[in-house]
Amino acid sequence: MGDPIVLDGKTLAKATEAELAQRVARVVERSDGALPVLATILVGDDPASATYVKMKGNACRRVGMDSRRVTLPEATSTEELLAAIDALNDDPAVQGILLQHPVPSQIDERVCFDRIALEKDVDGVTALGFGRMAMGEPAFGSATPAGIMRLLDHYEIPIEGRRAVVVGRSPILGKPMAAMLLNRNATVTVCHSRTRDLPAVVGEAEILVGAVGRPEFIRGDWVREGAVVIDAGYHPAKVGDVELASAIPRCSAYTPVPGGVGPMTIATLIAQSVEAAERRIGIAS
């Protein structure tokens, strides 16, 4: 087999940002100079979450948007977080709201996600948005799986009729990923911690998505020859959820770690924020 295709999220994200900057300029022009705003909410002291929020704010500024940071203490209650979300829902200057996951354990994260107004749910985290997306109705998709779909489409990876295996079923990654692949007519299997004989199920995948949250948990020798390998994981040792070094010689395409899924998540969040801003003033994208 020839060298696999590198699904280069970093380069695609950069190109996406260049296109978004032009769309933002058009929105600003038609809004009397007011910049579209993405509000980010960070609760607590998790350093990784703080880094992600900072990266998202920086991406806003690169495309000419503004970002408004809301930072709440570790001891924040569900009611206090809901009040902060309500204020942003009611603020006409804010087009998109991102609540950084995970929040501290005393907070009911699902209730808080679901408080975000549907038209401002640019990170695609509400149950209503998920349901609409799964039904094929217009809604912003969850940013990480939606970014993966953009990457697959950019590289013209065929999806229809192919066997896809998603390892992980979290509300913001595995489940919406499975729904998006199903909407595109893949035959989808979703694996989780109770799945029996995971290596055998993974071995059937023509499109494999690793979304487990454990470093190099999916072994390279489980991967089917010619598979497309999408690794959503990212860990401090700069490895993902798939043992990529041994998967690469077997696969036909793969996302590098870092530089694959991560940049596409941010680019998709920003793209959906720009779309929300365009809709607000009645410009079709």
Q: Strand pairing of 207-210 and 37-43?
A: unpaired
CB of 22 to ligand NAP, least distance (A): 25
Site track 185-224 with ligand NAP (rule: CB under 6 A), x = hit? ------xxxxx--x------------xxx-----------
CB of 265 to ligand NAP, least distance (A): 3
Binding ligand NAP (rule: CB under 6 A), the pick from 78, 170, 187, 252 is 170
Nearer to ligand NAP, 104 or 279 (CB): 104
Nearer to ligand NAP, 181 or 212 (CB): 212
Cα distance from N-terminal residue to C-terminal residue, the chain:
40
CB of 233 to ligand NAP, least distance (A): 3
The span from the CA of 10 to the CA of 260, in Å, is 6
196 DSSP 8-state letter: S
Contact 270/17 with Cβ under 8 angstroms? yes
Site track 93-132 with ligand NAP (rule: CB under 6 A), x = hit? ----------------------------------------
Query: Where in the chain does DSSP place strands (E)?
Result: 5-6, 37-43, 66-72, 94-99, 163-167, 187-191, 207-210, 228-231, 253-254
The span from the CA of 69 to the CA of 54, in Å, is 9
Binding ligand NAP (rule: CB under 6 A), the pick from 144, 255, 272, 273 is 144
Residue 179 DSSP SS3 = helix
Hey, which residues does 165 pair with through a beta bridge?
A: 189, 208
CB of 200 to ligand NAP, least distance (A): 13
The span from the CA of 280 to the CA of 93, in Å, is 10
Nearer to ligand NAP, 27 or 165 (CB): 165
C-alpha separations of 187 from 35, 194, 274 in Å = 42, 20, 32
What are the catalytic residues? 56, 100, 123
Rule CB under 6 A: say whether 40 interacts with ligand NAP: no
Query: Where in 131-196 does DSSP place strands (E)?
Result: 163-167, 187-191
Binding ligand NAP (rule: CB under 6 A), the pick from 4, 57, 129, 174 is 174
CB of 59 to ligand NAP, least distance (A): 12
- The residue type of 222 is W
Count of chain residues binding ligand NAP (CB under 6 A): 24
Binding to ligand NAP (CB under 6 A) within 241-280 occurs at 241, 261-262, 265
Binding residues (CB under 6 A) for ligand NAP: these are 144, 167-170, 172-174, 191-195, 198, 211-213, 232-234, 241, 261-262, 265
